[in-house]
């Protein structure tokens, strides 16, 4: 029987072109998401699912999918999937690392520059017809070059951000378990980084130990003239505490691409004028998002051919399936 594959929502069609010669593809070509119980109903006869970071795959959903062998997430993060439960059931989980590294680092710098140099204020000012003359202190922001960037989480994306920072003549500090590799950066404990950095940028995965890593206490450790940038995962920052810190001027501003309860925003966030907000766009270039879709499809195709998927995040499940 042809294996049945679910594609949970709208994707770049190149992914479907890869899958269709190998599988009977159920494509839900919609942009809205399904709840865990709706996914449960769709997955009962599927061997594989190509899903996105907003699709919840807790243990209960996996339990209702007896034939499910592979979950291919179109994202580098996979906190939407209960990885331990998948591994215990021998279900392979794959992600899309590497391809989005530079794109996400670019967007991190877009947010950093936008908030430091007030790019959005400037755009609104011109559009509102308020531009009358050149003035010495009109819409002045702060410099980025020559400042100190603190990177929380020195993985692939953290290192790509560090490379950009060197191009801007910034000093780079980092906190995290991984070594900076070739990036010219100083490793330091998180509290020291927070106390010294002009810009703090988060590049850690969301795990139980990074949830609310930046809370009220950490925000207090930051300098009053410092900015927080988050292109990683919203729940790494306590958003309520962040809104309070921004409102009270305990930090200078923030550039946020991710939020605790996307797409809902913490009350008060929209009223603040020292934040730049984006709807989770870190990897959102046509080239990168297309490649992420095809990578997820390639992982499924590899599995259907009996091969090890190239972007496996739980090798133990692979070992289990081979026994």
Residues recognised as catalytic? 233, 262, 280
Task: Give least dist CB 112 to ligand GLV, A.
Answer: 17
- Measured CA to CA in angstroms, residue 54 lies from 31, 50, 77, 218 at distances of 11, 12, 11, 28
Task: Give least dist CB 95 to ligand GLV, A.
Answer: 7
The answer to whether the beta carbons of residues 193 and 222 sit under 8 Å apart is: no
Block residue for tokens 């011109």: 126
Q: Which residue number, 87 or 108, has a Cβ lying nearer to ligand GLV?
A: 108
Task: Give least dist CB 77 to ligand GLV, A.
Answer: 3
Task: Give least dist CB 42 to ligand GLV, A.
Answer: 22
Block residue for tokens 């291919």: 72
β-strand pairing of 48-51 with 70-73: parallel
Q: Which residue number, 81 or 200, has a Cβ lying nearer to ligand GLV?
A: 81
Q: Which residue number, 76 or 254, has a Cβ lying nearer to ligand GLV?
A: 76
Q: Which residue number, 95 or 148, has a Cβ lying nearer to ligand GLV?
A: 95
The answer to whether the beta carbons of residues 285 and 256 sit under 8 Å apart is: no
- In this structure, what token pair is assigned to residue 53? 């970071």
Residues that bind ligand GLV (CB under 6 A): 53, 75-77, 100, 282-283
Distance, in Å, from the CA atom of 91 to the CA atom of 99, rounded to the nearest integer, reads: 24
Task: Give least dist CB 125 to ligand GLV, A.
Answer: 31
Q: Which residue number, 77 or 153, has a Cβ lying nearer to ligand GLV?
A: 77
Task: Give least dist CB 157 to ligand GLV, A.
Answer: 9
Distance, in Å, from the CA atom of 167 to the CA atom of 14, rounded to the nearest integer, reads: 35
Q: Which residue number, 97 or 253, has a Cβ lying nearer to ligand GLV?
A: 97
């Amino acid at each position: 029987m042809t294996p049945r594959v679910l594609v949970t929502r709208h994707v770049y069609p190149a992914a479907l072109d890869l899958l269709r010669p190998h599988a009977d593809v159920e494509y839900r070509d919609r942009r809205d998401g399904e709840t865990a119980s709706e996914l449960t109903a769709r997955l009962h006869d599927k061997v594989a699912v190509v899903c996105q970071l907003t699709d919840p795959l807790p243990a209960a959903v996996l339990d209702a999918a007896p034939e499910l062998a592979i979950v291919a997430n179109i994202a580098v993060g996979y906190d939407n999937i209960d990885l331990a439960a998948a591994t215990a059931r021998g279900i392979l989980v794959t992600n899309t690392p590497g391809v989005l590294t530079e794109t996400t680092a670019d967007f991190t710098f877009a947010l950093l520059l936008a908030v430091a140099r007030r790019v959005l204020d400037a755009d609104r000012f011109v559009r509102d017809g308020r531009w009358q003359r050149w003035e010495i202190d009109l819409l002045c922001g702060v410099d980025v070059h020559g400042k100190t960037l603190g990177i929380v989480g020195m993985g692939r994306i953290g290192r790509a951000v560090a490379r950009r920072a060197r191009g801007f003549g910034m000093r780079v500090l980092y906190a995290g378990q991984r070594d900076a590799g070739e990036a010219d950066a100083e490793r330091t404990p998180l509290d020291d980084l927070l106390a010294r950095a002009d810009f703090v940028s988060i590049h850690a995965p969301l795990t139980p130990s990074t949830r609310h890593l930046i809370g009220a206490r950490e925000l207090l450790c930051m300098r009053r003239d410092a900015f927080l940038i988050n292109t990683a995962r919203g729940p790494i920052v306590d958003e309520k505490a962040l809104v309070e810190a921004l409102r009270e001027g305990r930090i200078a501003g923030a550039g946020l691409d991710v939020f605790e309860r996307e797409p809902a925003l913490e009350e008060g966030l929209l009223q603040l004028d020292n934040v730049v907000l984006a709807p989770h766009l870190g990897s959102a270039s046509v080239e990168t998002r297309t490649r992420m879709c095809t990578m997820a499809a390639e992982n499924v195709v590899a599995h259907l051919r009996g091969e090890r998927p190239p972007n496996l995040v739980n090798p133990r499940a692979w070992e289990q399936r081979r026994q």
